[in-house]
A and B are shown apart, each in its own frame.
Chain A
Amino acid sequence: MNRRAWVQQIMGMPISIHVRSADVDSSTVARAVEEAFDIVREADRLFSTYQHNSEVSRIRRSELEPAQADPLVGQVITLCQQAGELTERAFTDHLPDDDGVLRFDPTGLVKGWAADRAASRLAGLQGASYCLNAGGDVVVGGAAVEDGSGPESIWRVGIEDPRDRSRIAEVVELHHGGVATSGTAARGAHLYDQATGTFVDRSGSVTVVGPSLMWADIWATALFVGPASLSNRFSRLTDGYRLIRL
């Protein structure tokens, strides 16, 4: 069983794809990996708040009606609404801009959404197990050998210690699903709490493990910024997801 990695910088973050397969150097694998990166690039093109002409930038300037935007934008808007309702508004797609005005910013959801979409392209590879890491949020899947639960298909995901980022505090083993961590260790106070109208500056981190990286990421962010009581809601509403607080 061989393993190979590819790394590209997209959306201002490193996207690493690792593939385990008997033939990691095949053109089939290379094509799938490139298409997976393309999916993330497409998401960046549509949703980036840094690219002046992305659809989201145009929506933010009221130059484009959401209803006229690409269907993928509509899909993300719907998901953002669902995420807001599920998390009692701890997740929000309206964040303060540089001028302090709240503007449409779905990037907190788009990262996990795009990573899941990219991963589904890798899932089509026969005889391959994959791990995609988008700036610290991880989605794994596939089957390197027919029995997809064997050691060849298990990925050991280290959860970074938020107090010492050179250390691994926990290790989660999984062969399918996502691992998302929210915290302020890497970028400082960037997670916005809609309830108080401030950026959260607490220490520690929240990791959520579950079938979908996008939902794991939504909950990790919501549980990090939201009230402690949100944990009960998380347990009640989610199935197959678990929580690691550090």
Chain B
Amino acid sequence: MRRIVFAILSTITTVVLLFSYHTSTNAASAASSTVAQLPATPAAPVSPGSASQPRSSTKSGSSAGTSSPANYTGAAANTRWGTVQVRITVQGGKISASQAVQYPQGTSRDAQINGSALPILDQEAVQQQSASIDTVSGATVTSGGYLQSLQSAIDQAHL
């Protein structure tokens, strides 16, 4: 039963993340909280792509991998299960951690919630690919599919 609850919660938090990306000005306030560490995601081999892959590996802007971590807290969203609010930490162009800062009453705070709230992305593949492109054109991405898109990873790196 607990597993089912966690599965539902992780779905909620993932959905909330989708609608909550915007630049936050209250990064400092996030520093006081404990942020869950991202478990290493097993990375699938990255196909090199076709002949038109990047000629140079220069990165644009301030997306260098050495950037300091920044926190972004999404707006609180009312779901049928209660209020959910998620904070993500972006470091070196990747989401390094996420945390549910508000969650429905009556459920225990658990690391599993935080861990499951992370987007289902192959972090290594994303890092390699998003370093060499600025944006992605593809079949229309809906808000529902955004979090798992390469574009969302690129956006997060520059928020």
Contact = CB atoms under 8 A, between A and B. Distances in A.
Interface residues of B, number: 44
A31 interface: no
Interface in A63-92: none
A158 B135 contact: yes
Contacts, number: 165
A155 B135 contact: yes
B109 interface: no
- Interface majority SS (helix, strand, loop, mixed), chain B: loop
Interface string B35-51: 00000000000110110
B152 A14 contact: yes
Nearest to B121: A166
Contacts of A161: 49
Contacts of B62: 2-3
A167 B159 CA distance: 22
Interface in A122-181: 131, 133, 135-138, 140, 151-152, 155-162, 164-172, 179-181
A45 interface: no
Which secondary structure characterizes the binding site on chain A? strand
Interface of A: 1-9, 12-14, 16, 18, 20, 111, 131, 133, 135-138, 140, 151-152, 155-162, 164-172, 179-187, 190, 205, 207
21 contacts: A4-B61, A6-B159, A7-B21, A9-B143, A14-B151, A18-B135, A18-B155, A136-B151, A158-B135, A161-B49, A166-B150, A168-B49, A168-B129, A168-B133, A169-B49, A170-B52, A171-B132, A181-B137, A185-B139, A186-B138, A186-B142
